[in-house]
Amino acid sequence: MLATTSDNQKTIAIIPARGGSKGIPKKNLAPIDGIPMLAYTIRAGMAVDRIDSVLVSTDNEEIAAVALKEGAAVIRRPEELAQDNSPTEPCVLHAMEKWEEAEGISLDWVVLLQPTAPLRDSSDIQGAFKILDDSGADCVLSVMERREFHWEKEGLLGTPKWDIDNRPRRQELRPDLIENGAIYISKANLYRDQGNRLGGKIALYEMPLERSIDVDEPFDLWLVEGYLRYQKDREEGKP
């Protein structure tokens, strides 16, 4: 029988949310239907019983206040890990070490939840855990499926990566599986030994496109709010 992440193993979720942002000022606090974007990810993580603690790693007091209000713990991120070019893995390692030091417990699994995926919900995280258990993998990441007509560009000219004389229907195209950045569940040792969220046997959890929006530009916020309005209208029986 495969060991699972629930067999007396310690699992935390880490949400990296620094204060700086170029595309959208204060992006992690941007209101979506009157709620700070960060709160959606905190709530999704806290609704998963496989996760023992939800931590927000931040260098920003406003973000820390929102995290505490939502019931998450806060890890104060040092300035050198909060730059525009700071990679995510050292930030996760820092949060892991601070949590282990405070709790006196060694972590087994780490869930990385990026706050720019506010439509990822608790059922997606639970689904990723199930894929992880069923596969016996060392990590799992969320992906979305796309079928697109790809081109290569050289100067102002383009070359199709498909047969223009026998144009296929979109549904006949080979699907691409693309990281959507919403969920990464990894053995803690991947971070410790390899400094990487991915390694060993890697499993994939497929998420629907409508929940895979990654907020990077103002237009993405408009898409998220539009989807939430659509969902609310459906629940209220509006056409």
In 3D space, the residue among 74, 82, 48, 57 whose CA is nearest the CA of residue 183 turns out to be 48
What pLDDT sits at residue 4?
59
Classify 150 as helix, strand or coil.
coil
Specify the DSSP element, H or E, that contains 233: helix 218-235
Mean pLDDT computed over 29-42: 96
Q: From CA 140, how far away is CA 69, in angstroms rounded?
A: 29
Whether the pLDDT of residue 7 is over 70: the answer is: no
Dihedral angle sign, alpha carbons of residues 230, 234, 236, 239: positive
Mean of pLDDT over the chain? 92
Residue 52 makes CB contacts below 8 A (sequence gap 6+) with 10, 11, 12
Instruction: Tell which wins on pLDDT, 52 or 8.
Output: 52
In 3D space, the residue among 133, 130, 123, 117 whose CA is nearest the CA of residue 214 turns out to be 117
pLDDT per residue over 142-176, tens digit each? 999 999 998 999 999 999 988 888 888 888 888 89
pLDDT per residue over 92-141, tens digit each? 999 999 999 999 999 999 999 999 999 999 999 999 999 999 999 999 99
What are the catalytic residues? 167
Whether the pLDDT of residue 177 is over 90: the answer is: yes
Would you state the structure tokens that stand for residue 168, as one six-digit string? 């296929």
Specify the DSSP element, H or E, that contains 226: helix 218-235
Q: From CA 82, how far away is CA 79, in angstroms rounded?
A: 5
| Residue 238: band (very low, low, confident or very high) from pLDDT cuts 50, 70, 90 | confident
Instruction: Tell which wins on pLDDT, 39 or 170.
Output: 39
Helices in 54-177 by DSSP H: which ranges? Answer: 61-69, 88-103, 122-135
Architecture of the structural domain at 11-143+178-235: Alpha-Beta Complex (3.90)
What pLDDT sits at residue 1?
33
What pLDDT sits at residue 8?
78
Half-sphere exposure of 2 (CA within 13 A, CB side): 12
Would you state the structure tokens that stand for residue 229, as one six-digit string? 């309005």
Q: Do 100 and 53 contact (CB within 8 A), yes or no? A: no
| Residue 5: band (very low, low, confident or very high) from pLDDT cuts 50, 70, 90 | low
pLDDT per residue over 184-233, tens digit each? 999 999 999 999 999 999 999 999 999 999 999 999 999 999 999 988 88
What pLDDT sits at residue 169?
87
**How far is the CA of 215 from the CAs of 24, 33, 199, 209, in angstroms?**
9, 15, 26, 13
Classify 178 as helix, strand or coil.
strand
Domain residue spans of the chain: 11-143+178-235
Angle 37-46/122-135 helices, nearest 10 degrees? 50
Specify the DSSP element, H or E, that contains 55: strand 53-58
